[in-house]
Structure 1
Amino acid sequence: MIPPNASLVKYDNPVLVSRNTDKKTPRARALKVSPQQPTGAGPVPSPPAKQKVAATDAKAAQQTDEILNSILPPREWTESGQLWVQQVSSTPATRLDVVNLQEELDRRLQQRQARETGICPVRRELYSQCFDELIRQVTINCAERGLLLLRVRDEIRMTIAAYQTLYESSVAFGMRKALQAEQGKADTERKIQELEQDKRDLERQVNELKAKCEQIEKRAAEQRQVEEKKHTEEIQFLKRTNQQLKVRRSHLQRIRAASSIC
């Protein structure tokens, strides 16, 4: 049985848990039954040292399995109405396994065309699986070191999640600002159109007032010319009158002079 999604983490062979996923009972899981000791009337002999060591090793192996299952939970999937469970492997890793893990990581990075730089979900997923596999290998040899690596992994994921949330919020903020800018742009364009219309109206009023001013100046010039002409004619008339009066006066003076001589 092959699991649906292959991972860089090493798992045991899948185990059939239940043939009917709707009615899962605890009895459907495989039970580990400890061997019963024979009942006898005599005293129970103390187990030899080898049995104590074996029991200690079994207990340590059980604790390691529990820690591994808490760090890397078993995978479950359904196929043809059957529930399959696959637990993480508790087999210690050798140096060859680490080399194979590195080669498999490089192969999958190239196979899935992961980007070498920048943000790449594929590269992040594969390196996360590789880190989980390293945690598994370290936990088998030293559970405390594995739990410490688990803390490091969780902290890295929390930091990445925080950065992702910050990025999403910044994108949302940028979108809001862009929408506000678009709305402000529309308002500004409408205001510009209104101001341009006002400008055209004012220019039309200015042209009308200029035309009125030109008409008024033209009328004033014509009226001034008429008045100047009239004033010139009056001056000429007064000059002629004055000249006639001077001639008449001189004539009278001559007459008086002639009468006085006589």
Structure 2
Amino acid sequence: MSSPRKSLLKYKSPIRISKTSGSKPTRSSGLSNKKSSGSLEILDSILPPREWEEENLQWEQHVSSTPSTRSDVISLEKELRTSLKKRDARETGVCPIRRELYSQCFDELIRQVAMNCAERGLLLVEIRNEIQMTIDTYETVLHSSFAFGIRKSMRALQSKEDVEARISKMQNERNVLITEINEQKARCDAIEKRENEKAQIEEKKHIREIQFMEKANQQLKVTSLTTHHS
């Protein structure tokens, strides 16, 4: 990894560490190899040093062991406000940037307290870890809720698609039935028209037959009277 980002947690100057074949990493020459005091060992345990590789060199950086003063606390607060503004952290709601900066600030406070009283530093670390565990739990619940919501939305979408498909199918069937009804109605109209025309023809034929018979009957009457007078 490249050199780490500037942090609100105070660190010592980075030191270069070298690796020899088959041995553990060793500090570069000129550095003190004396054992740390008890408080410094506790400090390293609660705020482990960070390591990175840059330009094929291994670097290590321990947190600062310099005791803090009142002005350091005031300076830390100002630096926190400046960093929040500089990195455009949101003032409300979930904001990873704001969370990261406040976490760094809390670690720096732990460092300052631990330099004066290691036990207080350890207690603050326990509180920090408990808070982090609670946040992780809420994140897990939140992610689970999101996943559940997505699954419900997908089911609802699938159900909606199924309903829309059924509606489309029923509309097609309805259109087919309407077409069939119209065709049957057209056939009925054509049959009715033909029957009406046929009835009119039959009626005219019947009228002509009646007229013919009446005329024939009239002629018979005339013929009968003529014969009788003769």
TM-score for both structures, normalised by structure 1: 0.65
1:114 aligns with 2:113: no
- Alignment RMSD (CA, Å): 3.7
What is residue 31 of structure 1 aligned with on the other side? Answer: 33
CA distance in 2, matches of 1:181, 1:222: 60
What is residue 18 of structure 2 aligned with on the other side? Answer: 19
The offset of 1:101, in angstroms, is: 0.3
CA distance in 2, matches of 1:82, 1:21: 13
Match of 1:101 among 71, 76, 95: 76
- In structure 1, the gaps of 5 or more residues are 34-60, 237-262
CA distance in 2, matches of 1:225, 1:71: 113
Q: Is the 8 A contact 1:19 1:81 kept in 2?
A: no
1:88–1:176 Cα change, 3 Å: same
Q: Is the 8 A contact 1:65 1:90 kept in 2?
A: yes
The offset of 1:161, in angstroms, is: 1.9
The offset of 1:68, in angstroms, is: 1.5
Structure number with greater Rg is 1
Q: Is the 8 A contact 1:9 1:88 kept in 2?
A: yes
Match of 2:103 among 121, 125, 128: 128
CA distance in 2, matches of 1:101, 1:24: 40
1:65 aligns with 2:40: yes
SS at match of 2:60: strand
1:137 aligns with 2:136: no
Q: Is the 8 A contact 2:18 2:25 kept in 1?
A: no
What is residue 9 of structure 1 aligned with on the other side? Answer: 9
- In structure 2, the gaps of 5 or more residues are 212-230
SS at match of 2:37: helix
The offset of 1:9, in angstroms, is: 0.9
CA distance in 1, matches of 2:114, 2:54: 31
More contact order relative to length (CA 8 Å, sep ≥ 6): 1
Number of residue equivalences: 218
Letter in 2 for 1:8: L
1:190–1:27 Cα change, 3 Å: closer
What is residue 84 of structure 1 aligned with on the other side? Answer: 59
What is residue 212 of structure 1 aligned with on the other side? Answer: 187
CA distance in 2, matches of 1:173, 1:68: 42
The offset of 1:168, in angstroms, is: 2.7
Letter in 2 for 1:91: T
| Deviation digits for residues 81-111 of structure 1 (CA, Å, limit 9, x no counterpart) | 4332222223221111100100111111122
1:156–1:190 Cα change, 3 Å: same
CA distance in 2, matches of 1:144, 1:91: 17
SS at match of 1:193: helix
SS at match of 1:64: helix
What is residue 159 of structure 1 aligned with on the other side? Answer: 134
| Deviation digits for residues 53-102 of structure 1 (CA, Å, limit 9, x no counterpart) | xxxxxxxx823222221211011123344332222223221111100100
Q: Is the 8 A contact 1:71 1:150 kept in 2?
A: yes
What is residue 50 of structure 1 aligned with on the other side? Answer: none
1:201–1:81 Cα change, 3 Å: closer
CA distance in 1, matches of 2:76, 2:49: 20
CA distance in 2, matches of 1:228, 1:114: 99
